[in-house]
Structure 1
């Protein structure tokens, strides 16, 4: 969040009259349940506010899903686990995620910078979400193994992790964009004094505790709420979803 503002103002993008500033956000910014998602939503709001005071720079935001093959992506993790001949770990049988390819992610950034007029939040049409366990099963089969040879173990959701991600907040709608695979989210407006109140909090020298950070983030991002984790043992093992391999 602080890095976003440092790049945007006052000595960087705005000072040098950069024409386009693109913030890389995430679907985790929608109804966030962890600090990462809440801070990304706060960065989106900061760019909305900056657009009001710096009309010469066009601030656009892009919301990504999970990028296949990128650093930290689940598929390389599964490939490593399969190559070692061990178990494949999935947090929950019903967990789903949106996926996009690296070329799609790069195109979304370029399209946003070329089409944006300032203040938009661009969202890629990523189709239907995919169950992570389906990806694991498909990869096991593609490597020539069965589930008897490479077991899938469910480890349980981590704190702040959702069963499913969303592309839009409950109060958001979308409008069409010039590109057929893009939509523009109509996020709630931020007040004119938003940055005047946010900057002193970000620039304070006192080190905040984890709970203080969460408490303050809820003040700035009221939709940020922690969630209760589902009970893993009561959820049956799902059957294979045949469409997962075709979509990925």
Structure 2
């Protein structure tokens, strides 16, 4: 990688950390395509998992007073199970079939929220968590489903980011362990990971500050902007 390419990658990594710390998720939306472009798909996904897992440790520290362990426990467990399955087994499945399923489930979840079908929304959450983990395992990103699943817990914005940080860390750590065992991380990935360490702290501080100063309406707008970004990316993959 050239110096210019490395700088582009690191800027994208910082932006991903900031978005993730402010909205609770969305880091993979920026990071996975960038790393896959410059490192190749498999190594890019593996490095993204390592960086996001490490960054989520900082997010957990930043939001340590608003971590809803009890409320998020089922979601976290299902995401871990899905991520493990996706990383080791579902990588062989046709990606377009999973992508279509994600879009359908996302649309159904948004409709349920808009219609305020509380029982339906709550029933969706565990399934969405599992599918998001599986999707993340073989594509590098959970898409919009993890965010919708956690939003169904009806948390305020600080507790939402806390729950998302717990869930993301658990899923990314699971993927990192599996990818490391498969030796997908090369020398370049290790060097980028080391260079990204100070960016994790800076990105987390930036995102946490944005979240703290934002109102509930602003946070909701940010959340659905990230969700729309995920959906656009999924449509591009199908096309």
Q: TM-score, normalised by structure 1?
A: 0.28
Bigger relative contact order (CA 8 A; separation at least 6)? 2
User: Where is the helix percentage greater, Structure 1 or Structure 2?
Assistant: 2
